[in-house]
Amino acid sequence: MLKTFPAKVLLLGEYTILNGSKALALPYQKMQGFWSFENNGTLERDESRKSLFAFLENSGVVTINIDKMQQELEEGLWFDSTIPHGYGLGSSGAVIAAIYDRYGKPSGDFEKDSQALARLEDYFHGSSSGLDPFVSHIQKPLLIHSFSNVEVLESKPNLESFFLLNTGKPRQTGPLVSIYQEKMKDPEFKQGCADILAKEVNFAIDAVIKNDPVNVFHHLWHISKFQWDFFPEMIPTKERALWTRGLDTGDYVLKLCGAGGGGFILGHGHHHSLNEMREILSTHELRELE
């Protein structure tokens, strides 16, 4: 049976996880990648192989079977993926999970595996927590109490009212994180993140875990409002009217999905079905998260 490696969605905890809040990360099976030797002549195949050869030559990792990877790449191996780059869905994490599965030595121990995955993903992001590839590796939701205290959830929370809104615009995580870190030098912003945003994130995660839709929406609204007030650089220009419309009407709310700046935006439709949300937000492609 063909083994696949799913995308990941950081449902809650973007940015605030860097300052001690909880986070909730989920595998997203509707987008995934897998190893292939098929020579289909596509640009995607060429780009994948180029990236994998560069990883092999420059990552400096010693935790994988480099000789085997080199041999199979020379035989035509590539990573065939439907996860778009720069959309906040862990495209590099899925590749790293696949590399670790095929050429590493997964131990089944969270700490050892996440550390090994983090070292592998450092090549793409400079410094990685290893959580993105770990979600793709274990293919279960992670409730992150802190970077040193991560709980694997055996069942997926109810995500019926959540959706992904496609901005059609890729982005890079690094510059956005730099903006956030610069903002954290402002005492008012830093205190707001600690006293308001991080607490709302924790409350929202608790409500999602408890399947409490009323409080899920309540806390998501406050997260959306805080991001509108304090994270304007992370909200793409053409989605700003939709963002404020949701806050004003209460029909839905939008929040950042990962770093923001483009890619996908996370939405919650409150009392509306996905089809109803597609009518309300007819200018954009919406994808179900369930």
* pLDDT, tens digit, 9 for 90 and up, residues 178-213: 888 888 899 888 888 888 999 999 999 999 999 999
Q: How far from chain centre, in Å, is Cα 188?
A: 28
Spell out the domains of the chain, with CATH numbers in brackets: 5-152 (3.30.230.10), 162-288 (3.30.70.890)
d(C-alpha 262, C-alpha 177), whole Å? 14
Shortest CA distance to 283 belongs to which of 256, 265, 257?
265
Q: What pLDDT, on a 0 to 100 scale, did the predictor assign at position 125? A: 62
Q: What is the pLDDT of residue 127?
A: 62
> Which tokens go with 24?
């909730």
DSSP 96-149: HHHHHHHHS---S-HHHHHHHHHHHHHHHHSS--SHHHHHHHH-S-EEEEETTE
Q: What pLDDT is stored for residue 151 in this prediction?
A: 94
From the CA atom positions of the chain, what is the Rg in Å?
19
d(CA 95, CA 80): 9
Evaluate if residue 59 carries a pLDDT over 80. Answer: no
CB 173 within 8 A of CB 259: yes
The two structure tokens encoding residue 286: 């919406």
**73 pLDDT above the threshold of 80:** yes
- Model pTM score: 0.92
The pLDDT score that the predictor gives to residue 128 is 67
The predicted model gives 32-41 an average pLDDT of 96
pLDDT band at 94 (very low <50, low <70, confident <90, very high): very high
CB 102 within 8 A of CB 36: no
- Which residue carries 């959706």 as its tokens? 163
- Cβ proximity of 140 and 152 under 8 Å: yes
Report pLDDT for 172. 81
The pLDDT assigned to 200 comes to 96
Mean pLDDT on 265-269: 97
Q: What is the pLDDT confidence band of residue 126, given thresholds at 50, 70 and 90? A: low
Task: Please provide the DSSP assignment of 196-255 as one string.
Answer: IIHHHHHHHHHHHHTT-HHHHHHHHHHHHHHHHHH-GGGS-GGGHHHHHHHHHH-S-EEE
**Predicted confidence (pLDDT) at residue 1 exceeds the cutoff of 90:** no
